[in-house]
Amino acid sequence: MYVINLRYTGALAEIDDALDAHRDFLIRYFEAGVFVMAGPKIPREGGVIIASGIERDRLDAIIAEDPFAQQQLAHYDITEFKATRLAPGLNLPEPS
């Protein structure tokens, strides 16, 4: 699994202009089963995406498709981790 930490580098007006395209990007990879959770940070300085079931090289290629990345509006820090504990009622994604 991966935690993808986005930090905006562009002005919020630029972020807002690219937001619909970024949301379409998220939807595409939620539907593909790659992204399992995503949302904005509070305060509004970036966002977080949780990804699973994918190799790091492929994840890097996917992140490069994000309109925020293509327009150089965000910096991405990616941390890989192995989930070993989960709250009751939640299910771990199958490993790749």
Q: What is the CATH number of the domain that holds 53?
A: 3.30.70.1060
User: How confident is the model at residue 45, as a pLDDT?
Assistant: 97
User: How confident is the model at residue 89, as a pLDDT?
Assistant: 79
Specify if 31 maps to a domain: yes
User: How confident is the model at residue 86, as a pLDDT?
Assistant: 82
Specify if 14 maps to a domain: yes
| Prior bond of 43 cis (ω within 30°) | yes
User: How confident is the model at residue 93, as a pLDDT?
Assistant: 62
Domain extent, residue 31, equals 2-80
CA 33, CA 23: separation in Å to the nearest integer? 15
Left (φ > 0), alpha (ψ -120 to 50) or beta: where does 72 sit?
Answer: left
Q: Count of domains in the chain?
A: 1
User: How confident is the model at residue 2, as a pLDDT?
Assistant: 98
Whose CA is closest to 11, among 76, 74, 77, 67?
74
Q: Which helix (H) or strand (E) holds 16?
A: helix 12-31
Specify if 91 maps to a domain: no
Specify if 41 maps to a domain: yes
DSSP 36-55: EEEEE-SSSSEEEEEE-SS-
Specify if 88 maps to a domain: no
Specify if 24 maps to a domain: yes
User: How confident is the model at residue 94, as a pLDDT?
Assistant: 62
Specify if 87 maps to a domain: no
Specify if 13 maps to a domain: yes
pLDDT truncated to tens, each residue of the chain (96 aa)? 999 999 999 999 999 999 999 999 999 999 999 999 999 999 999 999 999 999 999 999 999 999 999 999 999 999 999 988 888 877 766 655
Question: Contact 3/78 with Cβ under 8 angstroms?
Answer: yes
